[in-house]
Every structure is written in structure tokens, then in C-alpha cells.
Amino acid sequence: MRVRIYQSVNIQLDVSWYKRMKADPVRYAAWLERAARVAKQRPDLRRARERKWRLANPVSVHVHKKRDRARHANAQGLCFPHQWEARFNYYGRMCAYCGVKLTLSTTQADHVIAIKCGGSHWPSNLVPACSSCNGSKQMKRWTPRNFSLKKLS
């Protein structure tokens, strides 16, 4: 729960910083020039910083990869990291097809209706799947089950 609060605060801070920089074109141009110069001189620093961020934020990396793939396929919808975590927890941190226990690093976000078949990237079309189920499903449409819900007697 604490992570989500920090993420939303960081996003708001980044947006306000960006708005302040864009409001002053001279300062923004100088910042862009300096950033480009540093990136050109020391590309290893940028790569190291990105690698460190990717290792610290596996959920965000996973969601960003899926979002990029969906964007390139012109699919509608967005799924943010906190929405994916909520979806993952809704399914009890299990594969929606076979029920095997998963972690955030071993799960794959599966589109119930594949993007190639006109599916969206809204959270309601995403379910957690293990790699074997996700690979064998391909473009077929399987019905996910929620193994975390207890049977009503």
C-alpha cells in the first residue's frame, strides 16, 4: 500500500516539475541541452541508472512493456502498475488458467481477447498467467477462472 502512495506522489511531483520547466522556455532549453550533453558524454551512467531502476521496479517495467506493445498495435486502453497489481491480487496471485502460484517476477499479463483479435489493453481484459499457459494459449480465447475465491457451500 505504501508503494502506491509514493508512486502517485512521485508522479505528481514529476508533472509539476515538468510544468515549471516548460513554463520557462529558456531554462527548459538549457536543461535539455545539458541533459543531451551528459547523455552523450556518459552513456554508461544512463544505462546503469536505467538498469538499477528496472531491477527496483519489475512491475512497472512489465506494465510499460505491455503498454508499448498495445500502443504499437493501436489497442485501446491503458493499464497502470497499481491497476495490474490489483488485478494480480484479485486472482489470488495465481495463474488464471491453471491455478499455479505466481510472483510478480514470474507472472505474465495475458490479454483474454488477444490484441491481434481486436482486444483492448484495459485492466478488465488482462489476467495473470504462467508462461506455459500464456504460451500455449496464443491467440485462442480461454475463459479465466478465479482460483482464489472460496467455493460457496
Backbone φ, ψ for residue 114 (5° rounding):
-60, 150
Q: For 10-46, how does the pLDDT look when each residue is reduced to its tens digit (9 = 90+)?
A: 444 456 777 777 788 888 889 889 888 888 888 888 8
26 shares its domain with 43: yes
65 shares its domain with 103: yes
CB atoms within 10 A of CB 60: 16
Domain total of the chain: 2
SS3 27: helix
**Residues of the domain holding 65:** 58-153
Query: The cell 502506491 sits on which residue?
Result: 4
Kind plus residue range of the DSSP H or E element containing 134: helix 131-137
65 shares its domain with 139: yes
Which three three-digit cell numbers place residue 113? 481477447
- HSE at residue 120, side-chain half, CA atoms within 13 A, is 8
Q: For 64-90, how does the pLDDT look when each residue is reduced to its tens digit (9 = 90+)?
A: 888 888 877 888 888 888 888 899 999
What is the predicted pLDDT for the residue at 24?
A: 84
41 shares its domain with 95: no
49 shares its domain with 81: no
32 shares its domain with 95: no
